[in-house]
């Protein structure tokens, strides 16, 4: 009921922009543009470092800073449910940039939140954003659906304040595939999705759980990532071009 009331209130009551605070706008045009996915690209968990073992290739739709960060937190922690749409736009762009427009059915598998977090927030942020993204992907011509086949296997400590190694240890073996998960995703290209990537530990654990169940992982996509985690794709220099001729 809490989630239903939050969503109804967000649709009918005027409010300020979740990104910049502009009056009487759930999300102003400028902040919505920041989530358009125009800057989507490949990312690594930390600048100039490889991610944790088993981490699939990750693409992000926006930089996790300023208005984007504010919108992510408003949706995740304050229950601003209508923001799932714009966040889903950025996620869909990340999926497409990562090769999501290829042949065959595409299945988005959201990283599950801890049960206690879902109860406290009144909703599952990653799943809600994934549903919004799948709708945008279908409208773009990519056959996509959401399959929440991952679930927590055990309790984990709060990740806040933990370093990269501590997060890996905290999450090791924490997720598993639900019964029937392999059947639900059979024959589809699986892309793991989440709202934000930091150390990559969560996505790596999610990928491990899928592989342990005999499922392949085509890649991962997130709404946003820190600015310094985006990978620069350099064009070939003239010297490199000549060596290929």
pLDDT for the residue numbered 16: 87
Q: What is the pLDDT of residue 192?
A: 97
Question: Which helix (H) or strand (E) segment is 210 a member of?
Answer: helix 201-212
pTM, whole model, 2 decimals? 0.85
Between the CA of residue 55 and those of 6, 14, 239, what are the distances in Å? 35, 41, 33
Q: What is the pLDDT along the chain (245 residues), one digit of tens a residue?
A: 444 444 544 544 447 899 999 987 889 999 999 999 999 999 998 644 567 889 999 999 999 999 999 999 999 988 899 999 999 999 999 999 998 777 789 999 999 987 777 787 888 999 999 999 999 999 999 999 999 999 988 777 666 666 677 676 666 667 999 999 989 998 899 999 999 998 898 999 999 999 999 999 999 999 999 999 999 765 434 443 443 33
Residue with tokens 């290929």: 244
42 CB neighbour count, 10 Å cutoff: 18
Distance of alpha carbon 112 from alpha carbon 124, whole angstroms: 8
User: How crowded is residue 22: how many other Cβ atoms within 10 Å of its Cβ?
Assistant: 14
User: How far apart, in whole angstroms, are the C-alpha atoms of residue 6 and residue 113?
Assistant: 19
d(CA 197, CA 116): 21
Both tokens of 8, joined, read 């109804």
Token pair of 183 as six digits: 């059947």
Structure tokens at 211: 């592989």
């Amino acid at each position: 009921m809490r989630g239903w009331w939050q969503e109804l209130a967000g649709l009918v009551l005027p409010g300020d922009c979740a990104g910049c605070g502009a009056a009487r706008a759930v999300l102003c045009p400028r902040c919505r543009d920041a989530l358009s996915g125009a800057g989507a690209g490949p990312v690594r968990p930390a600048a100039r470092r490889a991610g944790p073992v088993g981490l699939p290739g990750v693409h992000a739709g926006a930089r996790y800073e300023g208005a984007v960060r504010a919108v992510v937190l408003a949706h995740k922690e304050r229950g601003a449910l209508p923001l799932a749409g714009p966040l889903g736009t950025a996620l869909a762009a990340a999926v497409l940039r990562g090769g999501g427009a290829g042949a065959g059915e595409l299945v988005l598998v959201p990283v599950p939140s801890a049960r206690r977090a879902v109860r406290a927030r009144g909703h599952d942020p990653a799943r809600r954003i994934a549903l919004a993204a799948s709708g945008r992907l279908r409208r773009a011509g990519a056959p996509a659906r959401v399959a929440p086949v991952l679930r927590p296997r055990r309790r984990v400590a709060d990740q806040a304040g933990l370093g990269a190694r501590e997060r890996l240890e905290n999450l090791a073996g924490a997720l598993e595939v639900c019964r029937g998960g392999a059947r639900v995703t059979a024959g589809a290209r699986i892309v793991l999705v989440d709202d934000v990537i930091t150390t990559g530990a969560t996505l790596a654990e999610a990928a491990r759980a899928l592989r342990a169940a005999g499922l392949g992982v085509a890649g991962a996509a997130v709404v946003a990532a820190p600015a310094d985690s985006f990978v620069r794709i350099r064009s070939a220099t003239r010297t490199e071009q000549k060596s290929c001729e």
